[in-house]
Structure 1
Amino acid sequence: MTLFEEEIEDEDRDKWIVWFDSASNALGHGVGVVLVTPNDQCIPFRARLGFDCMNNMAEYEACTLGTQAVIDFKVKFLKVYGDSALVIHQLRGEWETKDHKLIPYQAYIKKQTKFFNDIYFHHIPREENQMADVLATLASMFQLTPHGDLQYIKFRCRGKLSHCCLIEEDKDGKPWYFDIR
C-alpha cells in the first residue's frame, strides 16, 4: 500500500455512507435509506409517506430521512449517494431550485449540513442504488396500520432450493434415483 492510498484510507475511515431513494406508485409513496458505517455495517430504513407528493419531493424526503438518521448517530463525516440528479445537483448548489415545493427541502437539508464536519453529495446510476430502491418500493406498497410501524425486516440470500434439504441418502449406499426405471 502506498502512502497516498494510506492517506485516502485514513481520510475515509470515519466516513459514513447514506444511500437513498424513493418510490411512487398507485399504492402510495415510500422512501428507502441504507446507512453504511465505517466498519461496513448496513442499517436499512424505510418509511411510507402518509401524504400525497411529487416524485422529487419523495426523493428529498428520502435524503432527509438518511441525513436525520446519521445526525442521531452523531456522525461527522458523511457521503450521500442518490440516483436523483435533480436532488443531488440542487444540494451541491450546481442547479437552481425553482419549484416552490422543493425550496424548503433544500433549505432544511442545507441546515442539517451544519451538523457535519464534511458532507458530500454524489449522483449515482439507478443500477447502483438497488437496496435503497427495494426498500422504498417495499415501503410504498404497505398500507399503514393503526398498530404502528413494521418491525425491522432482514433480507437473506438462500443458496439452494429449500426442498433439497429434505433429500436424504439411502442407507444402502445407492443414489435416490437408482430404483427409477
Structure 2
Amino acid sequence: MNGAVEVANKNIKKIIGKMMVNYKDWHEMLPFALLAYRTYVRSSTGATPYSLRMTQEFNKKVRPREFSPSDLVLRKVLHISPDSRGKFAYKYDGPFIVKEVFDRGAINLNDMDGNENALPVNVDALKKYYP
C-alpha cells in the first residue's frame, strides 16, 4: 500500500474524532470531514486538493488564442452605453485590424480606416472575425 493513503486516512480520522459527539454518529460526520480535508491548504503544495483538481479541469478546456498582424478581430463591448438596448445590445464592436501583438496577451488595434486605438486590448476581449 501507499503510505500517503494511510496518512490521509489518519487525518480524516482525526477530523471525525474532533467533530463527533458520540461514537455512533461517525457516518453522519464523514461527508463534512471529507470536505474539510479536501479544502484544507496543504503546506507541501500551498494549495488545496480541491483547487488543484479545479485548476486541472479548467486548463483542459482553455483554448489558446493566436493572433497575428493584419488579422480581423471583434472587440467585446465592456462598457454600458447610454443607448443601451438591454439584452439586445451589441456584444462586440468592430471589425478591427490587429496592428501589433505583445507578450502576455496585449494587442494594439487599428480601425478599418487605419486609425490607431490609443490603448492596447487584452486577448480575452477579442475574437476572430470571418467576413
User: What TM-score bracket applies, with the shorter chain setting the length?
Assistant: under 0.3
TM-score (norm 1): 0.13
For CA contacts below 8 A with separation 6 or more, give which structure has more relative contact order: 1
Computing the radius of gyration from Cα coordinates, the structure with the larger value is 2
